Amino acid sequence: MGVTIVTVTRPEITAAVTRGAARLLVDLGYAPLSEVTLPNGRRADLMALSPKGHIVIVEVKSGLEDYRVDRKWHEYMPYCDSFAFAVAPEFPREILPEEPGLIVCDAFGGAVLREAPTAPLAGARRKALTIAFGRLAAMRAAGVVVTQLEG
C-alpha cells in the first residue's frame, strides 16, 4: 500500500481560506463580499458590513510568498473600520505584523485569534462606502459582474 501525497495549490488555499473567512464573518453577523476593488484601485479579498454599519476588510494570505510579495495592506485602512489577515492553519503566523487582526481559516470556517483594532471611519466616507457596498451587492445579486466600489 503506497502513500498518496496530495499537493494543494496556492489558488486552492486562497479559495479555501476566503470561503472559511466569509463563513466566519457571516457567523459573526457580517455580510461579506469578495473581490471588492476599492476607490484607490486596491482589491480587498473580503469586505464586510455589520448590522451597525461597521466595515471590515480581510486580506487573505495563502502562504509566505504571497505575504512577502504583497506589502500594500496599509492601503486598505482608509476604507474600513477594522482590518485583519486571514490565513490557513499552517501559515507561519509569527511573520505577520501585530497591528491587524488575525483569523485562521480552512474551507469550513475559522477562528479569530487576534481581534482587529478599530479606527472608525469619518461619517461622510462611511456613508459613501456603505452606499457603494450596497449597490455592489445588489448588482451582483442581479447577475451583473461588478467588482469596483463606486464613489
Name, in order, each residue with C-beta under 8 angstroms of 141's C-beta and a sequence gap of 6 or more.
none
Cell numbers describing residue 82: 477594522
The predicted pLDDT at position 1 comes to 63
Domain range list for the chain: 10-141
**Residue 129 phi, psi (nearest 5):** -70, -40
Task: Tell me the CATH class for 10-141.
Answer: alpha beta
Query: Is the pLDDT reported for residue 151 higher than 80?
Result: no
Q: Would you report the helix, strand and coil content of the chain in percent, each value rounded to 5?
A: 35, 25, 40
DSSP classification of residue 96: S
Query: Is the pLDDT reported for residue 2 higher than 80?
Result: no
How much is the mean pLDDT over the chain?
Answer: 92
**Mean pLDDT over residues 85-114, rounded?**
95
| Entry pTM | 0.91
The predicted pLDDT at position 10 comes to 85
CA-nearest of 79, 70, 71 to 40 is 79
